[in-house]
Chains A and B, each alone.
Chain A
Amino acid sequence: MTDRRRINGPSGGTRPPVFASSIKSTTTATERPQRQRQPNELRKIFLKTGLIPSASGSSYLEFEHSASLSAARALPKSLIPPSSSLKLACTVHGPKPLPRSATFSPNLVLTTHVKYAPFAARKRKGHIRDASERDLGVHLETALRGVIVAERWPKSGLDITITILEAEDDRWWGDAPDSHDAAWGMMNVLAGCITAASAAIADARIDCLDLVAGGVAAVVVDESVDGGEPSTPRLMLDTDPAEHRSLLSACVVAYMPARDEITELWLKGDNSKASVGTDDKSLSYETLIDGAVDAARGAHSVLAEAVRESAERLAGLETGYST
């Protein structure tokens, strides 16, 4: 188990800290964070390009802190963060010649690489990419492959690397894992990755069909106000899994608004239980996808602004050279 290329921890292994408040389930000192946004209101996205000058293109993306997190940061009471907000950095290297060993390719060869920093999540991540990180890489590649005009660069490669500094939670930390459990946070991460990669590719001046943006929507079940029976399932955009009792299903899309096309669709969960009896069309898969597309449209406006800044910077550079 020892990694000879890294500095290893104690051979006996270490355990993550156990907090007293999480053992005594009877006295829940902290409440589940509540969503303060409207169902169709997105979190603000901070997106900036060109922070990594050695790369052909780069971007940094950060989600706005949820209400609970910013409250916890302003007035810290507990060491356990109520929720987290996505932070990631994306670099694009290329187009560059393919390595000598690679076979001929008439198109641009896209390589995507998504890695969590070891400190990105509640549980410490390993240094070597795990299955979920590989999965994210594949999803990201599909999302981008449909966007890039790959025929323009034969025999070339494009490396897209994303480092996730802070990931989204899969569920509220106080909840025990249950049957509805899935890696919900991963879907938000993917949406962020798509938007950030899109900005970085534009920053690297790679020809694209459109600016592709990522968006997430989910069908959620919340605790009712009086604390009794859970409320009826509802559709929400840009969900933070920590803020909901459970997610029935979620969908992430990579969407090109100008062409009204989806390059990547990832749907998880089961809606059937939710719609049984209610006969409510508003919870079908179609509406879920439409919701995700709406979220992507929102992200696209931020993306367009970031790319405009990037273009202005380049224009400034060029005039700088000529003088």
Chain B
Amino acid sequence: MASTATAPAPQPIPPSLSLPPSQFARLQPHAYLLAHLSPPASSQQPSIRANGRSPSQFRVTSANTGSLTHTNGSAVVRLGDTTAVCGVKAEILHTEDIASWSVSHSSSSSFASNKRRKLTNPTAKLGEDRTDSGDNESHIEDFSLLVPNLSLSTGCAPGLIPGAPPSALAQSMSHQILSLLHTSRLVRAEDLQIWYERPNFGPEEPEHHNESEQMDVDVEQEGSDEASIQTGEIKAFWVLYIDIMIISLAGNPFDAAWTAVLAALRDTKLPRAWWDVDNETVVCSDIVSEARKLSLWGLPIASSFGVFEADAAAGWRSVTIQDAEEERKLAEGDRKGIQRRWVLADPDGYEEGLSQERVCLVVDKPQGGDGKVFIVKMEKNGGFAVDRKELKELVDISTRRWEDINQILKQC
């Protein structure tokens, strides 16, 4: 391989002409990684990735929250050399600014159902919890209360032009994050509602859940119509602008970005807000003790994988046209311990360039549950190497990853 890259040598290549590893890695990336993963049997070396990790090993991850002054919540997540900064800024959307509000929502018919949900056992099965969605949950989607945007135009990698509009990659990731926020129902709609309590109702604020909950039980029996009249109405919503800046890109930006979003949302504090009748506007209190954190549903954690195939550089036809015969050969090779495909966890930039097939798994383990793992999102695309059996293994790896990230997020 080295002889093809260097000038034609008259005699067998002298050692001085051999390439240093860093150049070999650039010229023949596929062969370089393959050589690491399948060392000759005689060398007694273990199969290891070019970056020194084992196939299922993730990079060192660290998270730091709350360091940005002007945000409601912020996080910096480093995943090896990939760094994502996420800042959450909350703004207020008045219901009078929502065109469809007055038509679709007569005061708060959803309030009762919302409270009912609250009364269900919070440690109940995750799946049940999430499906039990009233009108309430659709608020987040219908009124665009979550606005995530990911930016790669920060000079984070050589190929990306700074200041250019978001690339297709950045756009897809923004969409993936939004869609994951919606499907995982991570943020509760009730956390984002700002209520107006009619004065005759008493001095309590709607945020005092314990009291209002108690009272709600009574009200519910009288019927939801009366409940809505008595409990007040939604006057505004918090809108969370979730901006993710990828400061440094060295592979697997999605995991870094999602972990940053998760950490930032966990850190997010919303001020106590109420409808001020005199000013006809929403007013907030700046007292820290009155602000409350978002109560998130679960902790969905993402792990991404790339598939590296040994034969991709050899005859391309044999790769693309795989028949039963070849499958059998592969299986045979597996039995003999000759591996032709590697599923690499948390691929770095170098490995990403060499893998066509990607898998992204988002799993969650509900607190207080029976330790059962739920998959929130499972994506696999671009190849045939990962099928049922492999996916099952990857779910196990992702579960272990969940524990790790859970620990990291708890500490920050």
Please, how many angstroms separate the alpha-carbon atoms of A29 and B147 in the complex? 33
Tell me, rounded to whole Å, the shortest Cβ–Cβ distance linking A231 to chain B: 28
Q: How many A-B residue pairs have CB under 8 A?
A: 191
- Residue A115 is within 8 A (CB to CB) of chain B in the complex: yes
- Residue A84 is within 8 A (CB to CB) of chain B in the complex: yes
- Residue A136 is within 8 A (CB to CB) of chain B in the complex: no
Residues in chain A near residue B149, CB distance under 8 A = 6-7, 118, 127
Tell which of A12, A87, A129 touches B163, judged by Cβ atoms closer than 8 Å: A129
- Chain B positions 66-95 with a Cβ under 8 Å from a chain A Cβ: 67-71, 74, 81, 83, 85, 87-94
Please, how many angstroms separate the alpha-carbon atoms of A11 and B239 in the complex? 12
Residues in chain A near residue B271, CB distance under 8 A = 17, 19, 79
Decide if A53 touches B22 in the complex (CB within 8 Å).
no
Please, how many angstroms separate the alpha-carbon atoms of A234 and B163 in the complex? 39
Residues in chain B near residue A228, CB distance under 8 A = none
Digit string of B259-271 for contact with A (CB within 8 Å is 1, else 0)?
0000000000101
Residues in chain A near residue B232, CB distance under 8 A = none
Decide if A166 touches B154 in the complex (CB within 8 Å).
no
Beyond A11-B99, A321-B22, is A16–B154 a contact (Cβ under 8 Å)?
A: no
Please, how many angstroms separate the alpha-carbon atoms of A28 and B225 in the complex? 43
Tell which of B83, B94, B239 touches A9, judged by Cβ atoms closer than 8 Å: B239
- Residue B60 is within 8 A (CB to CB) of chain A in the complex: no
Beyond A13-B97, A54-B248, A76-B288, is A118–B144 a contact (Cβ under 8 Å)?
A: no
Beyond A53-B248, A81-B69, is A117–B85 a contact (Cβ under 8 Å)?
A: yes
- Chain B positions 92-145 with a Cβ under 8 Å from a chain A Cβ: 92-94, 97-99, 143-145
Beyond A7-B148, A53-B248, is A122–B288 a contact (Cβ under 8 Å)?
A: no
Residues in chain B near residue A121, CB distance under 8 A = 70
Interface residues on A, range: 35 or more
Please, how many angstroms separate the alpha-carbon atoms of A54 and B151 in the complex? 16
- Residue A113 is within 8 A (CB to CB) of chain B in the complex: yes
Please, how many angstroms separate the alpha-carbon atoms of A160 and B282 in the complex? 42
- Residue B175 is within 8 A (CB to CB) of chain A in the complex: yes
Decide if B143 touches A113 in the complex (CB within 8 Å).
no
- Residue B298 is within 8 A (CB to CB) of chain A in the complex: no
Tell me, rounded to whole Å, the shortest Cβ–Cβ distance linking B396 to chain A: 31
Decide if B70 touches A119 in the complex (CB within 8 Å).
yes
Digit string of B183-202 for contact with A (CB within 8 Å is 1, else 0)?
00000000000000000000
Please, how many angstroms separate the alpha-carbon atoms of A11 and B93 in the complex? 10
Decide if B97 touches A20 in the complex (CB within 8 Å).
no
B interface SS class: mixed
Decide if B144 touches A119 in the complex (CB within 8 Å).
no
Decide if A19 touches B284 in the complex (CB within 8 Å).
yes
Decide if B288 touches A54 in the complex (CB within 8 Å).
no
**Chain A residue with minimal CB distance to B90?**
A17
Beyond A7-B149, A124-B241, is A119–B158 a contact (Cβ under 8 Å)?
A: no
- Residue A15 is within 8 A (CB to CB) of chain B in the complex: yes
Please, how many angstroms separate the alpha-carbon atoms of A23 and B282 in the complex? 12
- Residue B404 is within 8 A (CB to CB) of chain A in the complex: no
Interface core residue of B87, B89, B91, B148 (most chain A CB under 10 Å): B89
**Chain B residue with minimal CB distance to A124?**
B89
Residues in chain A near residue B285, CB distance under 8 A = 19-21, 79
Decide if A54 touches B69 in the complex (CB within 8 Å).
no
Residues in chain B near residue A135, CB distance under 8 A = none
Tell me, rounded to whole Å, the shortest Cβ–Cβ distance linking B104 to chain A: 14
- Residue A85 is within 8 A (CB to CB) of chain B in the complex: yes
**Chain B residue with minimal CB distance to A99?**
B161
- Chain B: residues with Cβ within 8 Å of the partner, total of 66
Tell which of A76, A119, A159, A160 touches B68, judged by Cβ atoms closer than 8 Å: A119
A interface SS class: loop
Residues in chain A near residue B282, CB distance under 8 A = 15, 17-18
- Residue A78 is within 8 A (CB to CB) of chain B in the complex: yes
Please, how many angstroms separate the alpha-carbon atoms of A4 and B178 in the complex? 15
Digit string of A169-203 for contact with B (CB within 8 Å is 1, else 0)?
00000000000000000000000000000000000
Decide if A7 touches B91 in the complex (CB within 8 Å).
no
- Residue A96 is within 8 A (CB to CB) of chain B in the complex: yes
Decide if A17 touches B273 in the complex (CB within 8 Å).
yes
Tell which of A15, A22, A76 touches B94, judged by Cβ atoms closer than 8 Å: A15
- Chain B positions 181-234 with a Cβ under 8 Å from a chain A Cβ: none
Interface core residue of B70, B87, B149 (most chain A CB under 10 Å): B70
Beyond A6-B149, A54-B248, A78-B286, is A17–B92 a contact (Cβ under 8 Å)?
A: yes
Decide if B249 touches A14 in the complex (CB within 8 Å).
no
Decide if A321 touches B241 in the complex (CB within 8 Å).
no
Please, how many angstroms separate the alpha-carbon atoms of A14 and B153 in the complex? 25
- Residue B252 is within 8 A (CB to CB) of chain A in the complex: no
Residues in chain A near residue B239, CB distance under 8 A = 9-10, 14
Residues in chain A near residue B349, CB distance under 8 A = 54
Tell me, rounded to whole Å, the shortest Cβ–Cβ distance linking A169 to chain B: 9
Please, how many angstroms separate the alpha-carbon atoms of A115 and B154 in the complex? 8
- Residue B362 is within 8 A (CB to CB) of chain A in the complex: no
Residues in chain A near residue B249, CB distance under 8 A = 54
Residues in chain A near residue B68, CB distance under 8 A = 87, 119, 165-166
Decide if A115 touches B98 in the complex (CB within 8 Å).
no
- Residue B180 is within 8 A (CB to CB) of chain A in the complex: no
Q: Closest 9 CB pairs between A and B?
A: A161-B155, A119-B87, A12-B97, A91-B155, A14-B91, A52-B248, A161-B162, A113-B162, A84-B69
* 5 further interface pairs, Cβ-Cβ under 8 Å (given A6-B149, A115-B154): A6-B174, A17-B271, A54-B249, A161-B155, A163-B245
B residues contacting A by CB (< 8 A) are 20, 22, 67-71, 74, 81, 83, 85, 87-94, 97-99, 143-145, 147-149, 151, 153-158, 161-163, 165-166, 171, 174-175, 178, 239, 241, 243, 245, 247-250, 269, 271, 273, 279, 281-288, 291, 349
8 A-B pairs whose Cβ atoms sit less than 8 Å apart in the complex: A9-B147, A14-B92, A19-B284, A52-B248, A79-B271, A117-B243, A161-B162, A166-B70
